[in-house]
Amino acid sequence: MKVAITGGTGFIGRELAKRILELGQLTGPSGKLEDIDEIVLFDAVAPSGPLPGLDGRARVMTGDIAERDLVFNLIDRDDISVFHLASVVSGGGELDFDTAIRVNLTGGLNVLEAARARSGTPRVVFASSLAVFGGAAMPRRVGDTTKQTPQTTYGATKAMGELLINDYSRKGFLDGRSARLPTVIVRPGKPNLAASSFASGVIREPLNGERCILPVKPATAMPVLGYRNIVEGFVRLHEVSPEALGDDRAINFPNLTVTVAEMIEGLRRVAGNRHLGEIAVEPDPRIEAIVATWPGEMDATRARALGLPADENIDSIVRAYIEDFLDE
């Protein structure tokens, strides 16, 4: 079978591709385990060099996800599964409404329509976000059935994606599932336009000996999950039977609610004798306003019952980043 990953050359897309290739099999539209013979990492921009950890089964395809014919060329086999990660992120979406709608909504519809055009019911895993929640009536702790009143364009497009996944699944066009993610940490590389980018930066930059400018107050609390369990959660959600999911295909992923101050404390515990760069608190009202619209806690009872993995504590997340990207 084939696997297509949109947003595939981004950090999570690459890690997911490596994990799928390592497993070698996923449940196909047949309902049985099928061997992976092709995996395509689709993205808007080609990577600057080879992607480590991939083999001859993997290739990169570049283009605009809002171009319908291109997406249909990507999703071109009946024996296929799709992981739809491509998205304009939160901060970027607030700066450019039109691009966020074109990429997140039109691009998402292209993915669903291409999957619908295949014979059978391919599985489609959609990367959603805690940003689907918001509004003055939002409780501090949100669950899978909490009303969605997103306060960013990014969150609105993710909520629309969840509804479409539910309806396309209800109609039998595909077998969808939405992974409602907390903030993913620790991402290597450079900061991006996501409003939550600081949650990785406050760990990554000091470990690199670089100065980190923190745009929120240290008391800011947010649900987080380490990238290892994000990747493993995507795979396990893909493998959950449609009967176990029922008519609500969106799942709050397991998470830890921590303050930025607790992230820094965990960093210092795990770093040991490493020299850490300075952390300077310089609140940015624009970033603080976006983060303030998100829930402080996410209930993940349903995800845990389905076997999705969780982190023990913030220290384990920091330790994983050091092992994978600093000590390798």
| pLDDT, tens digit, 9 for 90 and up, residues 165-196 | 999 999 999 999 999 999 999 999 888 878 89
Residue 144 has pLDDT above 90, yes or no: yes
Q: For the domain made up of 2-182+225-252, give the CATH fold.
A: Rossmann fold (3.40.50)
Q: What's the confidence (pLDDT) of residue 191?
A: 85
Active site residue 154: yes
More confident of the two residues 250 and 272: 250
Residue 328 has pLDDT above 80, yes or no: no
Q: How confident is the model at residue 78 (pLDDT cuts 50, 70, 90)?
A: very high
Q: What's the confidence (pLDDT) of residue 190?
A: 86
Q: How confident is the model at residue 66 (pLDDT cuts 50, 70, 90)?
A: very high
Share of the chain above pLDDT 90, in %: 92
Q: What's the confidence (pLDDT) of residue 166?
A: 98
The phi and psi torsions of 47 (rounded to 5 degrees) equal: -65, 155
CATH 3.90.25.10 residue ranges of the chain are 185-221+256-297+312-326
Specify the CATH number for 185-221+256-297+312-326; select among 3.30.200.20, 3.30.1370.160, 3.40.47.10, 3.90.25.10.
Answer: 3.90.25.10
Overall average pLDDT of the 306-317 stretch: 97
Q: How confident is the model at residue 5 (pLDDT cuts 50, 70, 90)?
A: very high
CATH 3.40.50.720 residue ranges of the chain are 2-182+225-252
Overall average pLDDT of the 295-312 stretch: 97
Residue 19 has pLDDT above 70, yes or no: yes
pTM more than 0.85: yes
Q: What's the confidence (pLDDT) of residue 214?
A: 96
Q: What's the confidence (pLDDT) of residue 243?
A: 97
Q: What's the confidence (pLDDT) of residue 315?
A: 98
Q: What's the confidence (pLDDT) of residue 175?
A: 98
Overall average pLDDT of the 245-268 stretch: 97
Residue 121 has pLDDT above 90, yes or no: yes
Determine which one of 154, 168, 227, 321 is catalytic: 154
